Amino acid sequence: MNDLSKRLPTTAVLIVFTYSAIRFLPLIYFSALIYILISLAAVELITLTQPRLFSWPLVFFNGLLIALAFTVKQVDLLQALTAALIASGLFYLFTVTNQQRLESFVRDMGINALTAIYLYIPLYFLFALKKLGANGNYLFFLIFVIAMGDSGAYFIGRAFGKHKIYPLASPKKSLEGLVAAVLTAALSGWLSIWLFPLKVKISTAMISAAIIGLFSQLSDPVESLFKRASGKKDSSHLLPGHGGILDRVDSYIFCAPLLYYIMMYFWK
């Protein structure tokens, strides 16, 4: 009950904040907001993984390059990744100066690269979805489908879940909950295009939503592995009752780019 009393006010604030940002913020300001949120998630990821040698300016610089690639026409993603690779390589070349740092070099550079590959690139597809237009309805479709799929997984899994599928990463997640997530997401795909109109066939929207429902349940436990490895329950305590930013965006890491490409290739 105490946890619920913390979750509800935070949830209400998040709903109003998210809706307002998607509906009303101009693209450039929305990009800046996405950059800040991903950077906060990157701080949480680095706190969980605890590299021995890293640089906050380097992490944020690499993230900024990716942000520019998604935001302005003059920079493409390949150019951004090339610049990030060079910057990271030079940083470690001139800072790995003793045996102790050399021993952790591969792991440290891998974590640095992970912030770009695992966070900045996939989560910037949230911005790419807003750029598609329709007054933000593509993003609302994604958010609504994931929320409904998660709700279906939670309630059905809690009531009937017996077959654990990720006992180490997410012990409470079950096969029954996964099936419920896919079915609930599919139904919410139909409801979503009624609430947030989009030019797509109902069958296509429902199939797309079912796929998103499935991968949402796969993306979440991947993030959980980082927490399990560090012995933490949440990525941080930034959001009362909800954990951290990384805890709130974990499903979108797989699903934002996935929905974007589903739309590009199958929503005709």
Number of domains into which the chain is organized = 1
What range does the domain containing 145 cover? 2-266
pLDDT value for 62? 97
Nearest Cα to Cα of residue 115 among 224, 257, 253 = 253
pLDDT value for 1? 46
Provide the whole-model pTM.
Answer: 0.94
User: 3-state class of 239 per DSSP?
Assistant: strand
pLDDT value for 5? 64
Distance CA 35, CA 41 (A): 10
Residues of the chain with pLDDT under 70: 1-6
- Token couple for 59: 């992490």
Could you give the residue ranges of the DSSP H alpha helices within 72-120? 77-95, 99-103, 105-114
pLDDT value for 171? 85
